[in-house]
Amino acid sequence: MADPHEKPHRRWAMGLAVLLHLAAAGLIMLAPNPALRKPVPPPEDTVVYLVEPPPAEPPQVKPEPPEPPEPAPPPAPVAPDLSTASASAPEPAEPQPGPAYMDAPPAPSAQEWAQAATYTLKNSKRYRYHWGQHVRSLMGTAFEGAEQGAVRFRIEVAPSGQIAQLDTLWTTSPAVEQRARQAVQAMPPLPPTPNGKPLVFEKTIVFDAFTTETPPLYKNDCEPDPPQHGNRFVWDGRSPQTAATAEPPTEKLDPIAYAECLKQLPQDSIEAEAASDERQQKQWASPMLGR
C-alpha cells in the first residue's frame, strides 16, 4: 500500500521515468537497422553437370598372317634320254665381235692451215704436221685386217703449196701406199710454205685401227737443236786415220730474238703433253723398275 504521507510529485517523477524508458525502448525498436532493412539473399546453388566419357572401344587385334606353305620338294632329276639327245636343237652361239676400227681424224680447218703457213720454226713443223693429218683424214676409216699398214714418204712442197715430188721410202702394205697416194692427189690447194722456199721433209702415215697421231709439242721450238753426238773414233779400216774435229759449240739466241720467237709459239694441247710424257717414259724407264 502506498504511503499516504508520500508526496504527489514523487509519484509523477516515477511515472515520467517509466514513460521515458518505454519511449526509448520503442525508439530503439523502430530505429532502421541495415542488417534488418534488406535481407541477404541466400547463395545461389551451383549446378555441376557430370559428363560421362563414351565407353572405350576394345583394341583391334590384327589377324596374324597365315604361315607360308612349306616349299614343295624339288623334283627328282631325270636321267637324259641318250636316244633323243642327238635330236635336240643346238644352243645359239654367242655373237662374235666385229673387227676393230678407227675413224679418220678431222681435216685441219682453214684457220689452222693459215696459222701453219706462218710458223717458220723447226722446218715449218706445224705445216708438216697438218699435211700428214690431212692425208690421214682423206684415207678414211681403218679396219683391222689385211688392209692396214704404214708408209713413209719423202715430200717436196713447192713455195706455192703444190706437191712437187712424192717418193716412197718404205711401206708395209701396197694397198696402204696406194690409198695414201690417192689421198695426196685429192688434197685441196695448200697455202704457200712459211719460208717462201721449197719445203722438204719425211712423213710416216700409219693406217690401222690402233694408232693415232698425237699433235707435237711447240714449247721447246725456240731452243737450239741439241748437238748430234757420234763415235769420234770410228774407222773403216781402209781410209787414213785422222783426228776427229771437235763439235762446234751451240749458238745462243739473242735475248730480243728469243722473246720474239716465244710470241710465235702456240698453246700446247693436253694430248701433246701426255704423248710427250709417254715417249720419255718408254725411252728412259729402267727395266728394273717393274720388278
Using one digit for the tens of pLDDT, what is the confidence trace for 71-119? Answer: 666 666 555 555 554 445 566 666 667 788 889 999 999 999 999 999 9
pLDDT of residue 165: 95
What's the whole-number average pLDDT of the chain? 79
Task: Evaluate whether residue 85 is within a structural domain.
Answer: no
Task: Evaluate whether residue 162 is within a structural domain.
Answer: yes
- In this structure, of 104-108, 120-124, 142-146, the range with the lowest mean pLDDT score is 142-146
pLDDT of residue 21: 78
Number of structural domains, the chain? 1
Q: Report percent pLDDT > 90 for the chain.
A: 36
Q: Is the pLDDT of residue 240 over 90?
A: no
What count of other Cβ atoms lies within 10 Å of the Cβ of residue 125?
A: 18
Strand partners, 200: 156
Task: Evaluate whether residue 187 is within a structural domain.
Answer: yes
Q: What angle do helix axes 121-138 and 174-185 make, rounded to 10 degrees? A: 110
Integer CA distances (angstroms), 139 to 4, 213, 256, in order: 182, 14, 44
Residue labelled with grid coordinates 502506498? 2
CA angle 96, 98, 101 (to 5 degrees): 155
Domain that holds residue 167: 99-215
Helix or strand (DSSP H, E) at 29: helix 8-30
Which residue from 162, 169, 206, 201 is spatially nearest to 184, judged by alpha carbons? 162
pLDDT of residue 146: 83
Query: All 3 cell numbers of residue 224?
Result: 737450239
Task: Evaluate whether residue 241 is within a structural domain.
Answer: no
Q: Is the pLDDT of residue 8 over 80?
A: no
pLDDT of residue 109: 94
CA dihedral of 260, 265, 267, 269, whole degrees rounded to 10? -160
Q: Is the pLDDT of residue 64 over 70?
A: no
Q: Is the dihedral of CA 236, 237, 238, 244 positive or negative?
A: positive
Task: Evaluate whether residue 82 is within a structural domain.
Answer: no
Q: Which residue has the higher pLDDT, 38 or 143?
A: 143
Measured distance CA(20)–CA(271) in Å, rounded: 142
**Amino acid code (one letter) for 24:** A
Query: All 3 cell numbers of residue 28?
Result: 530503439
pLDDT of residue 1: 45
Residue 18 pLDDT level (bands cut at 50, 70, 90): confident
Q: Which residue has the higher pLDDT, 166 or 63?
A: 166
Q: Which residue has the higher pLDDT, 107 or 56?
A: 107
- In this structure, of 74-78, 94-98, 162-166, 279-283, the range with the lowest mean pLDDT score is 74-78
Q: What is the largest CA-CA distance in the chain?
A: 212
Task: Evaluate whether residue 60 is within a structural domain.
Answer: no
pLDDT of residue 73: 64
Q: Is the pLDDT of residue 255 over 90?
A: no
Using one digit for the tens of pLDDT, what is the confidence trace for 198-215? Answer: 999 999 999 999 888 888
Task: Evaluate whether residue 130 is within a structural domain.
Answer: yes
CATH number, domain with residue 161 = 3.30.1150
Which range has highest mean pLDDT (38-42, 136-140, 285-289)? 136-140
Task: Evaluate whether residue 115 is within a structural domain.
Answer: yes
Measured distance CA(268)–CA(265) in Å, rounded: 9
How many residues make up the chain in this entry?
291
Radius of gyration of the chain, Cα coordinates, nearest whole angstrom: 62
